[in-house]
Amino acid sequence: MRVVLRRRLLQAVRTDALARFDDGVWRTRCLHCRRALALGEDGAPIGSTSLEHVVPSAWFGRRAAAALTARVGGDADDPRNLALACTRCNHGKGASHDARGPGDARAYEVVANLLDARLARWREDEGTPYESGS
């Protein structure tokens, strides 16, 4: 697995207020369905954990998505735009809402709601694992 992907997975989990670090494993919930997810201390996904770009990368630079992309600094890889999702939800979003684009009102609404959920789960990354119960 690429180092860049592991780093982004770690950025997503370290900035997720629901995430807890225990016995060398990060544990959190899917941004979409709240399924339990796990990530190794080194950023390796365990089970069905995948990296979600909340606002799809393809939407950046598109006028219809400008308000959403501005909320994450105009950068698809900004940690505010990265979350963990189960592969089923992540691929489902990619095949439906992401593909329809920001001009589709329903797709825009789904992505805006997911971004609200991600930002509600935001915490600053202190660069170290968090203790259980913190």
Mean pLDDT of 19-41: 97
d(CA 28, CA 77): 20
- The chain-wide mean pLDDT, for the chain, equals 92
Calculate what percentage of the chain has a pLDDT beyond 90: 84
| 33 has pLDDT over 80 | yes
pLDDT the model gives residue 133: 43
Please write the tens of the pLDDT for every residue from 98-112. Answer: 888 999 999 999 999
Neighbours of 100 (CB within 10 A): 15
pLDDT the model gives residue 134: 42
Calculate what percentage of the chain has a pLDDT beyond 70: 93
Looking at the DSSP bridge assignments, the partners of residue 20 are: 27
Burial class of residue 10 in the structure, from the number of CB atoms within 10 Å of its CB (0-12 exposed, 13-18 middle, 19+ buried): buried
d(CA 52, CA 128): 22
Beta strands in the chain (DSSP E): 20-22, 25-29, 36-40, 45-46, 49-53, 82-86
Please write the tens of the pLDDT for every residue from 35-69. Answer: 999 999 999 999 999 999 999 999 999 999 999 99
Mean pLDDT of 8-26: 97
Please write the tens of the pLDDT for every residue from 116-132. Answer: 999 999 999 876 665 44
Side-chain-side CA neighbours of residue 55 (13 Å): 28
* Structure token pair of residue 119: 């930002």
* Structure token pair of residue 113: 């709601």
